[in-house]
A and B are shown apart, each in its own frame.
Chain A
Amino acid sequence: MIAALLVILQVLVATAITPLLVGVMRQVRARMEGRVGAGLLQPYRDVRKLLAKEPLRAEGSSIVLIAAPLVLLVSSLMVVALVPLVTTAYIPSIPSDLFVVVSLLLIGTVALALLGLDSGTAFGGMGSSRHMMIAALVEPTVLMSVYALSIPVGSSTLSRIVLARGADVTRVVTPAGLLAVVALVVVVLAETGRLPVDNPSTHLELTMIHEGMILESAGRDLAWLELGSWLRLTALLGLVVNLALPWGLADTAQPLALLIAVAALGAKLLVAGGLIAAAEVFMAKVRLFRVPELLAGSFVLAFLAVTASYLAG
């Protein structure tokens, strides 16, 4: 029961902090590029604006147009509920199993891809096709990093992995642990459509992936899509920072511990987001057909992590 309440709290905190994370990332980028920027709170205003606007329905579109944004949002919320962000507690019958988390992310991926196809335009199909190709090629790295992380603990349950890493600092800095986290970072960039895989702020038809799929959505559909995608970023980025710095998470419902946990998550997330945004300023999107090379590289890292943890262990 307490675990369930903690999970609800985690979902609320993550949802509340997500637009701020996006705001920070955009603002950091704007300032470094010499622009004033829209302010840290702009994403909150964007969501409110979109929710109040009229959604459109193109002739010939199916229920996917309405359902896909909601499916993406709910799948992202589920990921946020399962991944240990604020608390390592979990509901006993739904442990934060990494394979389950990955499959939940895939539901969102599929919903987006179908949305892109449903619009029946060339851009939607193009985005969908590229999106699914990247999703397919990123899958080996994802599961391999999961594998590498689960070997030392003997479990693919995220909470147990984070707890074990937090209890023993040497686990964090083993070659296997580091390699797995680095591979996971590439995964996060690919899954959330950041540079160098996809440019989140582009509308240039030759390069867009994510934007191509959501081009036909408007009003609250678009709001759900944006929020769902941002939540994915929060969940995955939060997972990486908690694996790299596995401290500060609350495992009980003590108010002080919870307060520290929320503050720690906020600090870790915003700093990591700011760093990513800063790095993106100096980076260009790679050609679509160079992305597989990037993913193959990260796969090799994850593979090395697995073999290293067998040989070193």
Chain B
Amino acid sequence: MTAVGGLLTVLMLTGIALVLALVTPDRHRSLASGGTSMGIGIAGIFTGVAAITSPPKVALVIPIAVPGGLGLDPLVLSPTPLGGVFCIVVGAVGAVAALYGIGYAHGPAASRTGWSAFALFLLGMLIVPSAGDVVSFLLGWETMAVASTVLVLSDHAERPAVRPAAAWYAVMTHLSFLTLATGFALLASKAHSTTFARIADAGITGPTGIAAFLLLLTGFATKAGLVPLHVWLPRAHPEAPSHVSAVMSAAMVKMGVYGIILLTSSWLPAVSRPFAVLVLALGVLSGSYGILQASITSDLKRLLAYSTTENVGLAVTAVGVGMLLSNAGQPEVASIAFLAALLLVVSHAAFKTVLFLGAGTILKATGERDLDRLGGLARTHPVTAWTFGLAAMGASALPITSGFVAEWTLLQAVVHGDGRANTMLALALPVTLGLLALTIGLGLLTFVKAFGMAFLARPRSDAAASPSPEFTSRPGTAAMGVAQVLGALSVWGLGLAAGPIATAFSSVLGYSGMVTSEMGGLRLVTIGVLDPVALGLLAVGLALPVGLLVLVLRRRVPRRATDLAWGCGGVRTSPRMEYTATSYAEPLVRVFGEALRPSRSLEVSQLGDDRVLESRVAFAQELTDIVEDRWYAPAARWLRIVGDQARRIQNGSIHRYLGFSFAALVLVLVVVTLP
């Protein structure tokens, strides 16, 4: 299948999915539409693979005619190899999420609107990386934005929190569209064309180039959820249905990364060069701020959303490091950084899908996403526990997952940049590494907390103590488990098959310094080798004697079950005395108190007049996003004031409106008659 053929299949399947969503009865809709949406995803994967292996020589060209002769070039759909990588990401995430959705979607998410929007969402996300011109790019972008907004709104009738979340999302995503459209307009007017190829050839520089660069960067950073433009992410992700959150977090935000890569490498390479430090700073700050917020939050889906900011931040950090190094004339190491960016994108897509799907199962089983009220789910939900655990290892970059391979590559790029002759590098690289390391460390804590609080220990609430069983008899529910398992396998598969994947990405980037090692690992010539399979074999080899010893000992002294191992004669205490997610993060909140500014209240009621005895202690802690409080709240207040003032010119008098119309007419005539 060629890439263009794949795209045609995607379009056709989207049409079928829309029809099916509209005509199938409620009972079968999820199966029919979910199945077709899976098909869209699989076709997307084929498109991407075809685009990488045999870059298309033909393109899907749709001439457009706009009245007024704006001189728009035809729409071009023809994915580049780089676009192919993102097509695969979108396709794979979409397919797994759709499979999960077959069992998971219920209520509004399984309605006609819900499934139609899901199919259109996937279509939009596949058009963006296939687009070869501005107009189709923006069309895809807007389809993706609108469809996802509809999906975020799914549960607005059930939970009041959904509406403000969707409002935040809609506002931010359309601000991003606005800046993108303006930036592209500047580019197109300079290049006299809307196709990306002509824009890249035009070699735009000067003030227009800088303005376009900053506008486009803002737009893409908003979609990618980079700090300080991330505020929509921790609101929209938790409120959307979980299979939609998975797609939004694992695939949609990557479009922002795709945009940033194209912007800096293809459209405006000359202009973006001095801004390498800005890109790097955006990435590093997003990484550390995102994970800091994730580590202290106790809402599971909010935690995952902040972790998305972190991971996208890491990918953008890699892009920034690559830009910085190629500025410094070290193209070899720069290529490794770009390779790391792609690996990070792919690995995050894999593990974040599984994590959101796992959160969905927890939500469905217990109705809770507050980690403070969960616990002990490993016993009742083993499949979810295993898949979530394996994916969490990927998220914490532990060997030998895909996340580990990606972060190893990034770290190698950072430490192999030569800062000897370049003061900028000598300063930027160590600072980057320090913040990266903090990000990695906090990421570990975050996911230990998420997994441990949800699945281990004893249930902290009645809902968690008696969850609905993992697989009910409802048809299609097994699909959820299959989707989770597939995703978890991919997290580890991508790690074990790191070599071939990285080789494919190197060819996308035109980098030849990477080869696959003997056992399918990653060999960066002159830098080092990472062979996950060999590492795994070493682990197995060392575990064998220990395992044999355990088998012998187990026969000799069997394990005994007891109420409480070291109760010291006491009885099992109430689960209320266990550590919760909030208490787990308490030391961090103290250490980073300056950056987090928690608001706490402690109320102690005395028993009568006694100063020693206390009848009740109430503790409440509220953690808010400091960026939101400091920047967005004042901006919103200011906008409200301006809006109030603007109301004055609209007093409802028909005479005044006629006056406005007349003034406008005069103004237009004056402008037209000017030479």
Residues of A within 8 A of B (CB): 11, 51-60, 62-64, 66, 70, 73-74, 77-78, 81, 91-95, 97, 99-100, 103-104, 106-107, 109-110, 113-114, 117-122, 124-126, 128-130, 132-133, 135-144, 146-147, 150-151, 154-157, 215-220, 224, 288-289, 292, 299, 303, 306-307, 310-311, 313
Contact = CB atoms under 8 A, between A and B. Distances in A.
A151 B434 contact: no
A122 B578 contact: yes
Contacts of B530: 97, 100
27 contacts: A52-B556, A53-B557, A59-B562, A59-B564, A74-B542, A74-B543, A94-B534, A94-B535, A94-B538, A97-B528, A106-B444, A121-B578, A126-B579, A129-B585, A132-B448, A132-B449, A136-B295, A137-B591, A138-B441, A139-B441, A143-B411, A144-B437, A219-B557, A220-B553, A224-B546, A306-B430, A307-B427
A93 B445 contact: no
A117 B579 contact: yes
A64 B455 CA distance: 11
Contacts of B437: 139-144
A58 B445 contact: no
B594 to A, nearest CB: 12
A49 B452 CA distance: 31
Given A100-B399, A119-B457, A114 B451 contact: yes
Given A59-B564, A103-B398, A132 B415 contact: no
A78 B579 CA distance: 31
A117 B440 CA distance: 21
B376 to A, nearest CB: 7
A117 B557 contact: no
B531 A93 contact: yes
A313 B436 CA distance: 24
A54 B557 contact: yes
Contacts of B399: 100, 103-104, 107
Nearest to A118: B456
Interface of B: 295, 375-376, 378-379, 396-399, 404, 408, 411-412, 414-416, 419-420, 426-427, 430, 433-438, 440-442, 444-445, 448-449, 451-453, 455-458, 517-519, 521, 527-531, 534-535, 538-539, 542-543, 546-547, 550, 553, 556-566, 572-573, 575, 577-579, 583-588, 590-591
A216 B457 contact: no
Contacts of B517: 93
A311 to B, nearest CB: 7
A58 B441 contact: no
A45 to B, nearest CB: 17
Contact of A118 (B414, B438, B457, B591): B457
Nearest to A220: B553
A255 B193 CA distance: 74
Given A56-B559, A118-B456, A139 B565 contact: no
Given A58-B564, A103-B398, A303-B430, A81 B538 contact: yes
Contact of A139 (B379, B438, B558): B438
Contacts of B572: 59
A55 B559 contact: yes
Given A58-B563, A97-B528, A99-B411, A136 B438 contact: yes
Given A132-B449, A155-B527, 19 more contacts: A51-B553, A56-B559, A56-B560, A56-B562, A57-B565, A59-B564, A59-B572, A66-B559, A74-B546, A78-B542, A94-B534, A106-B396, A128-B452, A129-B583, A132-B445, A137-B591, A151-B415, A219-B557, A220-B553
B297 to A, nearest CB: 15
Contacts of B397: 103
Main secondary structure of the interface of A (DSSP, over half): helix
A129 B587 contact: yes
B336 to A, nearest CB: 13
Instruction: List 5 tightest A-B contacts by C-beta distance, closest first.
Output: A125-B579, A139-B441, A136-B441, A117-B452, A120-B457
A307 B422 CA distance: 12
A91 B527 CA distance: 16
Contacts of B550: 70, 220
Contact of B591 (A52, A99, A122, A289): A289
Contact of B584 (A121, A128, A220): A128
A221 to B, nearest CB: 9
B445 A133 contact: yes
A109 B399 CA distance: 13
B456 A313 contact: no
B426 A310 contact: yes
Given A97-B528, A117-B452, A303 B542 contact: no
A6 to B, nearest CB: 14
B457 A117 contact: yes
Contacts of B449: 132
B587 A100 contact: no
A87 B231 CA distance: 52
A117 to B, nearest CB: 4
A146 B348 CA distance: 25
A146 B414 CA distance: 12
A233 to B, nearest CB: 18
Contacts of B588: 133, 136
Contact of B542 (A77, A99, A126, A137): A77
Contacts of A78: 535, 538-539, 542
Nearest to A63: B378
Contacts of A216: 565-566
Contacts of A73: 546
Contacts of A151: 415
Nearest to A224: B546
A299 B458 contact: no
Contact of B415 (A51, A156, A289): A156
A193 to B, nearest CB: 16
B415 A54 contact: no
Contacts of A126: 579
Given A93-B529, A132-B444, A136-B442, A114 B452 contact: yes
Nearest to B449: A132
A254 B588 CA distance: 51
A133 B563 contact: no
A311 B426 contact: yes
B538 to A, nearest CB: 6
B420 A313 contact: yes
Contacts of B378: 62-64
Contacts of B534: 91, 93-94
A218 B535 CA distance: 30
A142 B442 CA distance: 14
A144 B458 contact: no
Contacts of A217: 565
Contact of A54 (B419, B455, B559): B559
Contact of A155 (B528, B575, B583): B528
Nearest to A312: B420
Given A99-B408, A99-B412, A57 B584 contact: no
B564 A114 contact: no
B451 A54 contact: no
Contacts of B578: 120-122, 125
A303 B411 contact: no
A107 B430 contact: no
B579 A122 contact: yes
Contacts of B573: 121-122
A17 B342 CA distance: 44
Given A73-B546, A93-B531, A110-B448, A59 B441 contact: no
Max chain B Cβ within 10 angstroms of own Cβ: one of A52, A97, A216, A310: A310
A128 B519 CA distance: 36
Max chain A Cβ within 10 angstroms of own Cβ: one of B455, B519, B521, B565: B565
Contacts of A139: 437-438, 440-441, 444
Contacts of B433: 143-144, 147, 306
Max chain A Cβ within 10 angstroms of own Cβ: one of B426, B430, B521, B585: B430
Contacts of B404: 103
A156 B453 contact: no
A184 B448 CA distance: 25
